[in-house]
Structure 1
Amino acid sequence: MDLRRREFLALAGLGASAVALGGCGVAGAGGAAPRGSLRAAFGQPVTDLDPYNAGTAVDEASLIVKRLVFDTLVRRDAAGRLVPGLAASWRRENDTTWVFRLRSGVRFHDGSPLTARDVVACLDRTKAVKSAQSALWATVKSARADDDTTVTFVTDGPMGTLPVNLTLLFIVPARLVADPAQKRRPIGSGPFRVTGFTPSTDVELARFDGYWAGPARLPGISMPFIAETSSAITALRNGDVDLLWPVPSDQLGEVKGKHGVRVASVPSWTYYLTWFNCGRKPFTDPRVRRAMVQALDMDEIVGKLFGAGAQRMDAPIPSTVFGHAAQPPYAHDPGAARKALRDAGLGDGFETTMMWFDATGPLARELAQSMISAWKDVGVTVRPQSIEKAQWLQRLNTLDWDMELQTNTVTTGDAAFTLGRLYTSKANRMGYKNPALDKILAEAGQAADAGDRARLYADACRIVWDDAVGVFPAALTTAYGLGTGITGFTPAANNQPDLSTVTRRTP
C-alpha cells in the first residue's frame, strides 16, 4: 500500500478492512462486498438499517441503502413517474378502498416467499411505531390480505396520496418486522442483500441473484462513510471511490475536468431549512420569527456560498416538487427586523441556540455561521451547537432545541411528504399548530384530482411562508462525481439513485 493510499484511509477514518477488503476485491472476507463491487460514498453516515426505526424513518442516508435492500409496492422511475414495484397493478374501488395486486413468485433474501400477509404486517408495524412517517399513514385504517397476492387498504376517508406514500413502505418478512437483527443485517427482497454493516462507518452489499426484476449488473456495492469531503474527493480522483455525492459547489473545481472522473448533476428535491421551535419562547411570536427572516440577506448568502450549486427558495418546498407555489420573498431589512423585535418586547435583543450536524449537507457550517452573523447585527445572539448526527436526531424528534438547521429531501417528490407530513398540529415537528392549515392539508391529502391538490398545497405554502415557521434558504443542485468506468447511472433528484442499473468496468 503506497503513502497516498495510507493517507486516504487515515483521513477517511475507516478501518483498513472496510475499504481494502470491499474496495480491493477480497471476496467474502469479513462481510465485505464481492470483488468488482461499486464503491459509493454518500455525504452522510448510515446509522441504522431497520426500516421501522423511529429515528431514521426518513433519514436520507438510511433511505439510500433501504431502497437497494428492500422493495416497495410502488416506486418512481427515472422520470419521476409512479410505476409498479412489488404491486403489478392497483385500483381505487371507492373513496376509502384501494386494491393492490402483487407480483407472483417474489422471494426474500432468505428464500421465503413474499405474500400479501407480509405487506399487512409491515403496514401494521409502520403505523405502530411513532416516527416522522406517522402522519403519512394516519388516514389508513387497515390493510387485509384477501389472498397471497391481493392486498386491500381501507382508509377512514378519501386518500388520494396512498400510491405516493407506498413508495416508502418497505416490505420485510412478517416474522421479522420487530426483530432487532433488522438493524444490522436486515432481510428484504431488493436487488442487493446486506453482507456487512458498521454504523456510521460502512455498508457492504452483495447482489441478490433471485431478484424478481432480474439480477443487478453489479456484483455488489461497498459504501464507506468519508467524513471529510476533501478526502472523499481525493479518493474519487485516485480511483479508491467510484461514485461520490453530493459534491459541494465550492469543490466542483476539484472534480470537473479532472482525469478519470466526470460530473452528473440534477436539480434536486433537497433543500436547506432552519426551523424555529414555535412552541418555545420567543419563537411562539410570529413577529419574532419574521424578524429573524428579515435580518437575512438570502440572495447574498446563497449566492456567495453556493453559486450555481443552489437556488434561493421562494416557498417552503423546492420548485421541482409537486405542490410548489412561489411566494413573495422576504426583503432584507435589518431596520424592520429590529423594529419587529422591539414591538415584540425584545428591544434589547435575546440569546438563543441553533443546532446542526456538519454532514447534513454541503457547506452546512458556513451557512450556519453566515446566518448567525446576520442575526447578531439585529441584536440576536445565537450560540452554535454543532453536534453528532445521532444526538441531533434524538433532540430533533423530542423538540429539545430552539432553532435547528438541516437539509431535507422531499423523498416522494410530492408536497404531501413534506407539507402534509411535517406541518400538521398532530405531527408537532416544530411546535407549530394552525387549525386552518390542518384543514387545508387534510383536504389536499384526500383529493384525487391533481389540480385540486396543487391549489390546496399552494394555500399551504402561503401559510407556512407568511407565518415564518422557518427560514428556507436554498434548494440544492446535487452533483454526482463518477469514475469514468461507471455506466448506466442516472442522477436522482431525491439523492437516492437506483444503483441496480449501474455497471462498473474493472481494470
Structure 2
Amino acid sequence: MINNKKLVSMIFLMLLCLTACAPNEESVSIKERKKTDKSVTFLFNFTSATLDPHTDDNYTAVRGGVGETLVKINDDLKIKPWLAEKWETKDNGLTWTFMIRKNITFQNGKALDANAVKSSLQRTIDQSYAMKNALNIKEMKANSHALTITLKEPMPKFPSELVHPNTAIIDVNASNIAKKPIGTGPFRVLSFDQGNQVKLERYENYWGGKVKLKSAIFGFNEDANARVAALQSGTADIIYRPPLESLGTLQTDPSFKVSGVPSVRTHLLLYNQTNDALKDENVRKAIDTLLNRKEIVSSIMNNQAAAARGPFLPQFPFADSTANEQRGMTSAKKYLEKAGYQIKNDKAIKNGKPLSLSLVTYSSLPELPLIAQLIQSNAKELGITIKIHLVEDSDEYVMAKDDWDLALYSLITAPRGDASYYLSTNYLPGGGLNASRINDDTLTKMIEQLNSTVDDAKRDQLAKQATALINRKMLTSSIVHPNIVVAYNQKVKNWTTNPSEYYMLTQHLDVTP
C-alpha cells in the first residue's frame, strides 16, 4: 500500500513532467504570435489637431494608412488608379466618369460604392475652401459603382486633383470624424491623442491584401533632436526628417538606415503684397538677391537639397529656370535705390521712414529658422531691419492674418507631377493658398488658359511662361528643394520614401521579430 508521502511525491513528479512538456508547445505559440503581433512607432515632424482628412493640412489620415483617395501617385510622380479602377472623359474634361472598385469596405464593414464616394467628395467641398476651388465640381451623379462628375469648366487633368489627401474617401456618417475617421485603408484608428499620437490597428478585411503589421503608432514631435533621440533609444522605429547634423552619426551606425530622396517640396520666401514696400518688385528683388542659395545648401541643408531656380524641380518639363541672376550686396543696393531708398546711417530710408519687416516661420522644419536668421543678418547689412516670429500653424497664420511681411514657408509644389495645382492655389485671386494676396492680371490669364488646355506640350509651355513671370516679378522667392530624409531601425522592412510625401504607413510595412 502506497503511503501518503509516496503518493504526494508521485503526483509532484507527474506534474513536473507535464510542465516540462508544456513550454515547448507554448513557446511555439509565443513565437508565432510574435510573428503576427508586429508593430512600429513612427514619428512625424508636424502635429495634427484633427484627423478629419477633409480639413487636416497635415494629411495624417492618408499618411497613416487610414484613408485612401480615388487616384494615387507613384514614385515616378505618375497618377494611377486606387479606389477608382478607371476613368474616362468624352468631352475634353468637362464630364468625367469614375468606376469605383467593387468588394471594398470601410473599416466599419460598410460597402464602398459610388454614392458613398459622392457623399465624401461633397463633404470635402463643403469643408475645404481650397478643395472647393481646386475640384471645381458642378454636380455629381452616382449609379451603383459609377460616379459621373460634371465640372464648371473643362479640366483635362482633373483626375490628378483627386490625388490630394484632402479628397480621401471616408464614411461621412461616422460619429466623430475629427478623432476617428472611418476610411478604407490598411489601418483603422484606435485612439487619437491630439498633438501627441494616433494609435492604429490592422484592418483585417483590407481590400488591398494582407497587412503585415498588427498595429502602429503615428506620433508627432516637432523637435528634431527629440525625434533622433527617440530613434536611438528605441522608443521610435522610424523618424521623419532627422536633424541634418545627425546624419553622419546615423549613417555610420549599423543599427539604423537612412533614406534620402529628392522631393517635390520647395522652401519659399513669401512676400505679403498688402505691405506697401513689398508691392514694389525692386524691394522684393533686393531681398531675393541676398539669398545665397549655395551657402544655404551647404551650410544649413548639409547638402541634402538643391538650389532652386523656381518653384519646380528642373527635371519637370514645365519648370522655368530664368531666375534672378543678380547676387550680392551691391546688386541689392541698386534694387533698393530703384525703389527710392537711400542708405543713411546703415538704414534703408524712404520718405523719412526706415524699412522694417516682420518674418514669420516655424520650427517643424528646423532649417527654416536658420534660413530666417541668415536672411535677417544679410538684410541688416543692407539696412533693412527684420524681426523673426516663430508660429505653430504657419498655414493658418499666413492665410488668416495680415500682420506679417515675409514668410518662410515650405510647400509640395508638384505633388501630382503637374504645375496646375500649385499655380492655381497660390497665384489666382482667391486661391486657397494665396497667402501673399497676389492679383496679377497677366498671370491670372496664363493660369486660366493652362487649366483649360488639353495638349500636354502646350500645358508645359504655359506653365513655363507663368513660372517665368513669377520669377521675373519676384512674386515669390524659391530658395531650395530639400531632400526627404527618413531614418529608421534596421529591423524595419519595406519602408519606401515617397517623393510626394503622401504615403507612409502602408500594408507592406514590416518589422523583423
The TM-score by the shorter chain falls in which range? Answer: 0.7 to 0.9
Instruction: In structure 2, give the amino acid aligned to 1:105.
Output: N
Residue equivalent to 1:383: 387
Q: Which one of 299, 307, 317 corresponds to residue 304 of structure 1?
A: 299
1:409 and 2:412 correspond = yes
Q: Does 1:369 align with 2:367?
A: no
Q: Counterpart in 2 of 1:78?
A: 75
The partner residue of 2:89 within 84, 87, 92 is: 92
Which residue number corresponds to residue 117 of structure 1?
A: 115
Secondary structure in structure 2 of the residue aligned to 1:419 = helix
Instruction: Report the Cα distance in structure 1 between the residues aligned to 2:233 and 2:100, rounded to whole angstroms.
Output: 45
C-alpha contact 2:39 2:214 (8 A) present in aligned 1: yes
Are the counterparts in 2 of residues 237 and 259 from structure 1 also a CA contact under 8 Å?
A: no
Which residue of structure 2 lines up, in the alignment, with residue 337 of structure 1?
332
Give how far 1:116 is off: 1.1
Whole-angstrom distance in 2 between the partners of 1:101 and 1:48: 30
Distance 2:311 2:113 in 1: 39
Give the structure 2 partner of residue 49 of structure 1. 51
Structure 1 residue runs of 5 or longer lacking an equivalent are: 1-33
CA distance, structure 1, for counterparts of residue 141 and residue 317 of structure 2? 30
| CA 1:377–1:132: 2 relative to 1, 3 Å | farther
**Counterpart secondary structure, 1:152:** strand
Deviations 1:130-156 (A, max 9, x none): 433343123x222211x1200011122
CA pair 351-443 structure 1, distance change in 2 beyond 3 A: same
The SS at the match of 1:408 is: strand
Is it true that 1:358 corresponds to 2:363 in the alignment?
yes
| Residue number in structure 1 paired with 2:494 | 488
Deviation at 1:456, TM superposition (A): 1.0
> Which secondary structure state, in structure 1, belongs to the residue aligned with residue 486 of structure 2?
strand
- 1:322–1:69 Cα change, 3 Å: farther
CA RMSD of aligned residues (A): 2.0
Contact 1:123 1:143 survives alignment (8 Å) = no
The amino acid that maps onto 1:37 is: S
Aligned partners of 1:319, 1:216: CA distance in 2, in Å? 37
Aligned: 1:153 with 2:153: no
Q: Aligned AA for 1:38?
A: V
- Size of the alignment, in residue pairs? 461
1:207 and 1:219 in contact (8 A); partners too: yes
- Give SS of 1:143's match: strand
Measure, in 2, the Cα distance between the counterparts of 1:318 and 1:274: 16
Paired residue for 1:433?
439
What pairs with 1:417-496 in structure 2 (closer than 5 Å)?
417-427=421-431, 428-496=434-502
Q: 1:321 to 1:209 in 2, by over 3 A?
A: farther
**1:324-381 deviations in whole A, cap 9, x for unaligned?**
222234321322322322332333141110111100x241211110111111111111
* Equivalent in the alignment of 1:8: none
Tell me the SS of whatever aligns to 2:435.
coil
Once the 2 structures are TM-superposed, how far is the Cα of residue 220 of structure 1 from its aligned partner?
2.0
Query: What's the CA shift string for 1:415-463, capped at 9, x where partnerless?
Result: 2221222111231431111121112112222223221211111111101
Q: Larger Cα Rg: Structure 1 or Structure 2?
A: 2
How far off is 1:159 after superposition?
0.5
Aligned-partner SS, 2:425: helix
Amino acid of the residue matched to residue 313 of structure 2?
A: P
Q: Distance in 1 between matches of 2:317 and 2:126?
A: 29
C-alpha change, 1:322 and 1:38, in structure 2 (3 Å) is: farther
Letter in 2 for 1:453: R
CA separation of 1:342 and 1:501: change in aligned 2, threshold 3 A: same
Q: Do the aligned residues in 2 keep the contact of 1:322 with 1:413 (CA within 8 Å)?
A: no
The corresponding residue for 1:314 is: 309
| Compared CA separation, residues 416 and 64, structure 1 to 2 (3 A) | farther
- Provide closer, same or farther for how the CA distance between residues 186 and 174 of structure 1 changes in structure 2, counting only shifts above 3 A: closer
Q: Could you tell me which amino acid in structure 1 is paired with residue 153 of structure 2?
A: G
Q: Secondary structure at the match of 1:358?
A: coil
Runs of 5+ in structure 2 lacking a partner? 1-35, 343-348
TM-score by length of 1: 0.86
C-alpha distance in structure 2 between counterparts of 1:101 and 1:503, whole Å: 28
CA distance in 2, matches of 1:436, 1:408: 24
Aligned equivalents of 2:162 and 2:316: distance in 1? 17
- 5 Å-filtered alignment, 1:162-241, equals 162-168=158-164, 169-176=167-174, 181-241=176-236
Identity of aligned residues (%): 24
Aligned letter for 1:110? N
* 1:73 partner letter: L
Partner amino acid, structure 1, of 2:430: K
